[in-house]
Structure 1
Amino acid sequence: MRVSAKSDYALRALIEIARQTDGSAVSAEELGRRQEIPHGFLQGILADLRRSGVVLSQRGQSGGWRLARPADDVTVADVIRAVDGPLVSVYGLRPEAVSYNEEASVLQHVWIAARRSLRDVFEHVTIAQLAAAELPAEVTTRTADEDAWQPH
């Protein structure tokens, strides 16, 4: 799996929004400045997140962006799907929609298993956990394995 710049930037922006302890809106300019995200690119990402019901925009002098629902109800998977689509796709199709001949049909099982593994992490990590820098055991046990940090 490749994590796109859109997904990375979206998560970083949402961490900043979730860290607003008073629940106030944060301007796109401020989000971009704090996380070094290009303004035009961030505007598109925020629009995707708004369409998916992750954030709300507020106009006016105290305007900006805020979460549309509690930070502990928004997962990494929600964000990735909002800005990039399905967690795993093969030629633009969901793994269950791909068809192979009999000799290669086993590949479909690999793609489905990969998606399940991604879900095991991405659907258990919330924006609230990221903002608090407190990851769930599903993640910390995987990163405790020294081999996880090694490029292969």
Structure 2
Amino acid sequence: MQLSTHTDYSLRVLIYLALQKDKEPVTVQTLAERYAVSANHIAKVGQTLTQLGYVNSLRGRSGGLVLAMPAAQINVGQVVREVENLKLLECFGSQSNCQIESACRLKSVLYRALQAFLTVLDEYTLADLVVQPAALQQLLSKSRKASYL
């Protein structure tokens, strides 16, 4: 299974915010620079995470994004469920036009595989992803040239 770029960067933004010891707000621009992606993309990710309640968006001169709860309370599986489109096939939706759906086992096999994938992700919180904060901070502090330019 391949997660969308939006889900990937949602998890990366959460990781970056979890690394902030002083819990100071982080700007969209800073996140975009650290991950070498478009600020517009990070802004959309930030908006999604804010709407879902994982992040608070603070306005003003010293504004930015901060975690809305402790990292240990943010379950990775739940984030993926809420951010990712988990409709693997047409028959996963209510508008299926598949002629073989009633006799096909593919849907049930893929459903079981998806549940196994999510079950593993459910075993981890955001805090579990940042157990090497010094190494992560060092890698993220290096100036990177934006790959979208």
TM > 0.5: yes
What root-mean-square deviation, in Å, do the aligned CA atoms of Structure 1 and Structure 2 show?
2.5
Is 1:17–1:65's contact at 8 Å kept on the other side of the alignment? yes
* Native 8 Å contact 1:48 1:82 kept in 2: no
Q: How many residue pairs get matched?
A: 130
- CA distance in 1: counterparts of 2:20 and 2:31, whole angstroms: 11
1:140 maps to: none
Q: Which residue number corresponds to residue 138 of structure 1?
A: none
Report the identity percentage: 29
What is the SS of the residue equivalent to 1:132?
coil
- 1:57-103 deviation line (CA, Å, top 9, x unaligned): 011222110111111111222322333233x53227369x999223x
Structure of higher RCO (CA pairs closer than 8 Å, 6+ residues apart) = 2
Distance 2:126 2:93 in 1: 25
Partner of 1:137: none
Q: Which moved more, 1:115-124 or 1:46-55?
A: 115-124
Query: Partner of 2:145 in structure 1?
Result: none
Distance 2:73 2:33 in 1: 26
Report the counterpart of residue 81 of structure 1 in structure 2.
81
Amino acid at match of 2:69: R
Aligned residues of 2:3 and 2:84 also touching (Cα < 8 A): no
Q: 1:120 to 1:36 in 2, by over 3 A?
A: same
Say which SS state the counterpart of residue 7 (structure 1) adopts.
Answer: helix
Cα gap change, 1:107 to 1:84, in 2 (>3 Å): same
Amino acid of the structure 1 residue aligned with 2:101: Y
- 2:37 matches 1:21: no
Moved over 4 A (4+): none
TM-score scaled to structure 1, two decimals?
0.74
1:115 Cα deviation (Å)?
1.8
Corresponding position of 1:37? 37
Q: What TM-score, normalized by structure 2, do the two folds share?
A: 0.75
User: SS state of the match for residue 57, structure 2?
Assistant: strand
> Which ranges of structure 2 fall in alignment gaps of 5 or more residues?
134-149
